[in-house]
Amino acid sequence: MARTFGLELLPAGGPKRFTYAELKAATKDFSDFIGRGGFGDVYKGELPDHRVVAVKCLKHVTGGDAEFWAEVTIIARMHHLNLVRLWGFCAEKGQRILVYEHVPNGSLDKYLFQVGRIGSSRRGMELDPDTENPENPVLDWSIRYRIALGVARAIAYLHEECLEWVLHCDIKPENILLGDDFCPKISDFGLAKLKKKEDFVSMSRIRGTRGYMAPEWIKSDQITSKADVYSFGMVLLEIVIGVRSFEIQGSQMNSEDWYFPNWAFDKVFKEMKVEDILDRHIKNSYDRRLHFDMVDRMVKTAMWCLQDRPDMRPSMGKVAKMLEGTVEITEPKKPTIFFLGDE
């Protein structure tokens, strides 16, 4: 089977096939739980060579060993600075387990949203008792920009540079891990094909996460790479604002017609007050001379990503260029929640 799918041709240091017993020992019987995602639970472990790993036990995956091996082969051949590296896998006794590098600084959400939930305004926020580590540093503007650009380049790689086109389907801060120097690394890429088909198309179990899903998921339209572009746009706004989009929508603004991207659009393009939407925890460090171009590009790029029609959104390759400042960013159409009243 390994020869059939070319695993024997992978270079030294490529993905290793682990036994279930080896991973059980590495994780101390799966005792160090570090996260839960749409594809399964993740445990911290240590291999005999002292490498620290993240062990993801997949749930509700479809197909037999052959299909799983084929998908693992594809994932293992995706190499990019801003993608989490797959080191190995286990396909034994019905188990489907992936072994990744462990990314030390955790996920982006722990840094952006650590100050708690929103009340009727953005003032007087209290510490969220569910926050794992309230001591996480507040990310400065240059780090936030580097995170945004790194994530954009990684998604562009998945969409445009891989031999097989890859749709992520669940771009969100929890799936953006931060390594040394806060270098961003996307996790859970390449796994969409392993999910059962009903998970992928059923209206009762739409793929993705509330607040980040593109309108076409709700409308049951054809899903393309532009769905990832929309999700990235929402993450990009959150990187600038430091608050979850749906938390603002649910509690800060009382109007049912209020829409997070719509509000940001007015601030940037109508009122010309990008400073009004900045994360208040680093607003004091905002220097218009140093940071305006960077932040302005991030918000305006997000507006293009959040267009309600997929064909109006740029490709991720162009999104990366917009963030880099190598292409001009024209004024987009104002984003709307068109699907709420559209049958």
pLDDT tens string, the chain, 343 residues long: the values are 555 554 554 445 557 889 999 999 999 999 999 988 778 899 999 999 999 999 999 987 766 777 787 778 888 888 899 999 999 999 887 889 999 999 999 999 999 986 543 432 332 223 333 334 446 788 999 999 999 999 999 999 999 998 777 889 889 999 999 998 999 999 988 877 665 443 333 333 456 777 888 888 877 678 889 999 999 999 999 999 998 877 665 444 444 455 778 888 888 888 888 888 888 888 888 888 888 899 999 999 999 999 999 999 999 999 999 999 999 999 999 888 654 444 3
Instruction: Give me the pLDDT at residue 176, please.
Output: 96
Cα distances from 78 to residues 10, 126, 239, in angstroms, run 12, 41, 26
Instruction: Please give the model's pTM, rounded to 2 decimal places.
Output: 0.83
Catalytic residues: 170
Between CA 182 and CA 187 the distance in angstroms is 15
Q: Is the distance from CB of 29 to CB of 57 less than 8 angstroms?
A: no
Nearby residues of 161 by Cβ (< 8 Å), 6 or more positions away: none
Q: Report in angstroms the alpha-carbon separations of 21 from 109, 255, 322.
A: 33, 55, 48
Handedness of CA 159, 161, 162, 164 (dihedral sign): positive
Buried b (16+ CB within 10 A) or exposed e, 48-61: eeeeebbbbbbeeb
**Greatest alpha-carbon span in the chain:** 61
Q: How far apart are CA 166 and CA 315, in angstroms?
A: 14
Query: What are the two backbone dihedrals, phi and then psi, of residue 32, each rounded to the nearest 5 degrees?
Result: -100, 80
Tokens of 312: 């109006």
Helix, strand or coil for residue 186? Answer: strand
Angle between helix 316-324 and 288-305 (nearest 10): 170
Of 84, 88, 85, which is closest to residue 97 (Cα–Cα)? 88
What angle in degrees, to the nearest 10, is found between the helix axes of 288-305 and 226-241?
150
Give the three-state DSSP class for 41: strand
- pLDDT the model gives residue 160: 92
Q: In sequence order, which residues have a C-beta less than 8 Å from that of residue 26 and are 6 or more positions away?
A: 45, 46, 47, 48, 53, 55
Q: What is the pLDDT of residue 75?
A: 86
56 is in an annotated binding site: yes
Q: Are 122 and 243 in contact (CB under 8 A)?
A: yes
Which residue ranges form the domains of the chain, and what is each CATH number?
A: 7-101 (3.30.200.20), 109-340 (1.10.510.10)
Residues 6+ apart with CB under 8 A from 20: 90, 92, 93, 95, 97
Query: What's the pLDDT score for residue 201?
Result: 37
Q: Please count the other Cβ atoms lying within 10 Å of the Cβ belonging to residue 196.
A: 12
- 323 burial class (0-12, 13-18, 19+ CB within 10 angstroms)? buried
Q: How many helices and strands in the chain, by DSSP H and E?
A: 11, 8
Distance CA 167, CA 186 (A): 13
